Structure 1
Amino acid sequence: MLVALLVFLLSCKKSKVNETESTDINPVETTENDRDKTLVVYTTAMDTDLRLTKTAEQSFVDKVQALETDVAVFVNPEKTFQEFLGIGGAITDASSEVFVTLDEATQNQLLQSLYGKDGIGYNIIRTSIHSSDFGLGSHTYIEEGDADLKTFSIEKDKEKRIPFIKQAMDLIGEDLVFYASPWSPPAFMKTNNNMLQGGKLLPEYRQAWANYYVKFINAYEAEGIPVWGLTIQNEPMAVQRWESCIYTSEEERDFLKNYLGPTLERAGMGDKNIVVWDHNRDLMSDRANTIFEDPDASKYAWGIGFHWYETWTGGLPKYDNLKNINESFPSKNMLFTEGCQEGFDIEKMFYWPNAERYGNSIINDFNSGVVGWTDWNILLDERGGPNHVENFCFAPIHADTKKGQLIYTPTYYYIGHFSKFIQPGALRVSTTTSRSTIESTSFKNKNGNMVTVVMNPTNKKVVYKLVVGQIETQLQIQPRAMQTIVY
């Protein structure tokens, strides 16, 4: 009896082991639908005429184990992450001043290029609450000293900025994400009595300043512009020669939880999305830790915004800080709120590394958990302005105001490799590369289409495998190029 029982138990154990081994070693079968799947490749490349140009159309085959000598992009459609909010840029006073110098046909060309169905599909618009450095001068919406905001008026914005925004909105439609950021409170509300050169918000004006945001939202929505949200302060740790205001982490936390959050809630604006920080990646972990660890402040915060200018120190972009925040506060969102190539030089209008900076940032930001990406000025003139303190920079599109013509920089096309193909509501998909010489990210649109973006910043053509689950195909990417693969 005992011998029979032992034989039975051993046979059961052997059966269980064999079952496990079978599960581990048998690959997932490739379906006929997978084998029939086709892909289309769009390419932009330096020293060529390729600009978001369709360059290939081919099919997948069954996956073959990649070798160490292969260059490969591995996509796992079964693993998805954050939902894509969108991509866009800022409609500033400077952009508006340039826009109105153009004739109607060129204005329409610009709008279609950025927001139209045949353009690159922008859906995010950022603007400033009153003035920033990118404009002809400083201004606010009230008379100086009016703490009760009785003189509040956005008449100046109605002249050029708001008509521009409305035309963009009409093309974007229901996917619009519109948000606003202040560069400085009015001078009388600050410790230095100046909108420029930093300074801080005086304690006695915290409530008046919180009321100012409510006035702004009401005024813009009365013009038919739905306000998705706002950031508390643009670059709150930078004393700039232009409009600026300093908040420590604790000061921003306390203003949010004691003034801005409750004020918006009382005004029936609890659904507006409040974005904290709105500055560089370098110090953002401290800001996140301070605000998100405080439940009374955190409840008002949709997430954290950031810029890319930490590289002014000579270091590399701090993408690891994004990953840390994403892991530490998974319920909070991250939004890229501003980036541009500084130091305008007309000789570098078509300088390829400017575009590659965008490609590198967008890929790594999204792979770190970011939900949306906002460029700075959508349009500037041939000097990189106007800017009332001569802080000139590049934009994806410039206008030659003397000729009334638009100049499309490589950056426009590099951004378009993401914004034109990835749709709001898409989910990021697990994507890695086998070499550091190429970079990649992927998204799955709500219609089921997959989009993989690959960048080659090297001076050599790269032949690589695109491996998607249990199927693959072989592609090549030109030197100094960006590709979008749709399948």
Structure 2
Amino acid sequence: MNSQLFYHHIAKLMLVCFLFATCSSNNNSTPEPEPAPPVTDGDVKVLVTTADLSQDLKWQTVDYGESSNMSPTTITLDPTQRYQEMDGFGAAITGSTSYNLMQMNTEDRAKFLKETFSESEGYGHSYIRIAIGCSDFSLSEYSLCDNPGIENFALQSEERDYVIPILKEILAINPSIKIIGSPWTPPRWMKVNNLTDRQPHNAWTSGHLNPAYYSDYGLYFVKWIQALESEGIPIYAVTPQNEPLNRGNSASLFMGWQEQQAFIKEGLGPRLRDAGLETKIYVFDHNYNYDNMADQYDYPVKIYQDEAAASFVAGAAYHNYGGNRQELLDIRQQRPDKELIFTETSIGTWNDGRNLTTRLMDDMEEVALGTVNNWCRAVIVWNLMLDSDRGPNRDGGCQTCYGAVDINKNDYKTIRRNSHYYIISHLSAVVKPGATRIGTSGYTAAGVMYAAFENPDSSYAAVLLNNTDEKKRIVLADGTHHFSYEVPAKSVVSYRWN
């Protein structure tokens, strides 16, 4: 080989290596999820993700320190200071998500679901939200009783062919997973234009629930719960209406607080009770700012003011498409006896949803730690999986949303993880259902945010965000043990130790 040809081959090889390295480090080409392997060779299990993905849900271990601890960057856990019990963390298994999962081959789907939901071989996602009937991420618009008369209730093809098979596969991996259901619309024959004229409103969008059907609609929930339970799918909780102040969704219903209070008191609550169901009811299920409707402010608290309605209600659910998470604290202060959960948030083209450099930091602060530190027992994000065209989706629904993961529509195999998958995994990997959020004291700094927990097995967990440009050596102490770990710049770190 002459020297000119030799150097030509070397140049080509260097170019290939450069392109490979560039693609590997590009946030737009996230590798497929790796399972969370058992870690046994250290005192503390540590899960790390950096915004540049130089560490990508990477498990490590550290050992307890042997000498006394005098570090000024020490965070000390206080298990005597106890806050809310945790129910779990997860994403929505919509019709679109289920469809995409069913397009994968059996082996690839099983691998992804195990990595996502397994307690021992994955990240242990522990809560799922599903629609009662269609949502704006369904394959069509439908209810479970489109023909007038509650006797015509029946599960439809979306449930039978997509959602139920996926839920069964998930439950086989994690039998203790919690499931919450929300309707986007009741059957159209139950809807009226307003509560004065009560003229038929034969449309999927907007309208009001006719009070004459409160009991039938309560039975609709009962039949849905029983139909899924007959398939081996237990329902932990429901909300009476997804986004009750949003008239504009492709499938929607307006249900102000007075209407929801009456429906719970006269229909949903008594029907669940009479059927012997212990399914929890969470009210509201909408934005922190009540869509700026002054007469709807403090929506959950107004429902609680009727003792008969409140007796059926576990608490309230919130989304973050408007307002500030401080509203959670306000509702908690007014009714500390009622629970709070967070049930929906989205990423998309409007918030640079695939830019992990910013989204991982912002979503960890706002959605994950922000809601947990404001008394939420659960954190649930929107679609677990959408395809690379942000679908399947429909006119009138969100055309610009990304999933917690996106799957390549060309092969239904290549998976890209987005910020929502990371934030849920960092919580669920170390904070187990039944854990209690506990107090902390000591080190604080701008850009550093954290929460600590005691798990049911008496292990401790902590989740920490370092949203600064500097690595920080932070010490965690529990009164008996302490250990230090150098937290990378722009990273999320989760810890669990006995």
TM-score range, shorter chain: 0.7 to 0.9
Candidates 323, 327, 349, aligned match of 2:329: 323
Secondary structure in 1 matching 2:130: strand
Comparing 379-388 with 43-52, greater Cα deviation is found at 43-52
Query: What root-mean-square deviation, in Å, do the aligned CA atoms of Structure 1 and Structure 2 show?
Result: 2.2
Secondary structure in 1 matching 2:137: coil
Q: In structure 1, how many angstroms separate the alpha carbons of the residues matched to 2:342 and 2:433?
A: 15
Distance 1:63 1:333, change over 3 A: farther
Q: How does 1:420-439 map to 2 (within 5 A)?
A: 420-431=429-440, 433-439=443-449
| Pairing 1:161–2:163 present | yes
Contact 2:78 2:438 in 1 (8 A): yes
CA offset digits 1:347-379 (Å, max 9, x no partner): 853533222333112112111111111121111
Secondary structure in 2 matching 1:160: helix
Q: In structure 2, how many angstroms separate the alpha carbons of the residues matched to 1:323 and 1:461?
A: 31
Secondary structure in 2 matching 1:371: strand
Contact 1:285 1:321 in 2 (8 A): no
Q: In structure 2, how many angstroms separate the alpha carbons of the residues matched to 1:62 and 1:437?
A: 29
Contact 2:146 2:189 in 1 (8 A): no
Q: In structure 2, how many angstroms separate the alpha carbons of the residues matched to 1:213 and 1:115?
A: 27
Residue 161 of structure 1 and its aligned partner are, at CA, apart by 1.1
Residue 54 of structure 1 and its aligned partner are, at CA, apart by 3.0
Distance 1:459 1:197, change over 3 A: farther
Q: Which residue of 1 aligns with 2:466?
A: 456
Q: In structure 2, how many angstroms separate the alpha carbons of the residues matched to 1:352 and 1:484?
A: 18
Q: Which residue of 2 aligns with 1:373?
A: 379
Q: In structure 1, how many angstroms separate the alpha carbons of the residues matched to 2:233 and 2:270?
A: 23
Q: Which residue of 2 aligns with 1:295?
A: 307
Contact 1:75 1:442 in 2 (8 A): yes
Q: Which residue of 2 aligns with 1:125?
A: 128
Candidates 75, 90, 98, aligned match of 2:77: 75
| Pairing 1:236–2:244 present | yes
| One-letter identity of the residue aligned with 2:322 | E
Secondary structure in 2 matching 1:391: coil
CA offset digits 1:413-445 (Å, max 9, x no partner): 332111011111111111355113100001111
Name the % identity.
Answer: 25
Candidates 299, 310, 317, aligned match of 1:305: 317
Q: In structure 1, how many angstroms separate the alpha carbons of the residues matched to 2:452 and 2:444?
A: 15
Q: In structure 2, how many angstroms separate the alpha carbons of the residues matched to 1:424 and 1:348?
A: 28
Q: Which residue of 1 aligns with 2:23?
A: none
Q: How does 1:43-62 map to 2 (within 5 A)?
A: 43-60=48-65
Q: How does 1:148-187 map to 2 (within 5 A)?
A: 148-156=149-157, 157-173=159-175, 175-187=176-188
Secondary structure in 1 matching 2:128: strand
Candidates 402, 408, 419, aligned match of 2:410: 402
Distance 1:344 1:386, change over 3 A: farther
| One-letter identity of the residue aligned with 1:139 | Y
Distance 1:235 1:241, change over 3 A: closer
Q: In structure 2, how many angstroms separate the alpha carbons of the residues matched to 1:294 and 1:367?
A: 28
Residue 341 of structure 1 and its aligned partner are, at CA, apart by 1.0
Distance 1:469 1:280, change over 3 A: farther
TM-score (norm 1): 0.84
Distance 1:229 1:415, change over 3 A: closer
Q: Which residue of 1 aligns with 2:189?
A: 188
Larger Rg, first or second structure (1 or 2): 1
Q: In structure 2, how many angstroms separate the alpha carbons of the residues matched to 1:452 and 1:206?
A: 44
Secondary structure in 1 matching 2:348: coil
Q: Which residue of 1 aligns with 2:423?
A: 414
Candidates 202, 209, 227, aligned match of 2:217: 209
Q: Which residue of 2 aligns with 1:135?
A: 138
Q: How does 1:466-485 map to 2 (within 5 A)?
A: 466-469=476-479, 472-485=482-495
Contact 2:146 2:188 in 1 (8 A): no
Alignment coverage as a number of residue pairs: 437
Q: In structure 1, how many angstroms separate the alpha carbons of the residues matched to 2:139 and 2:61?
A: 46
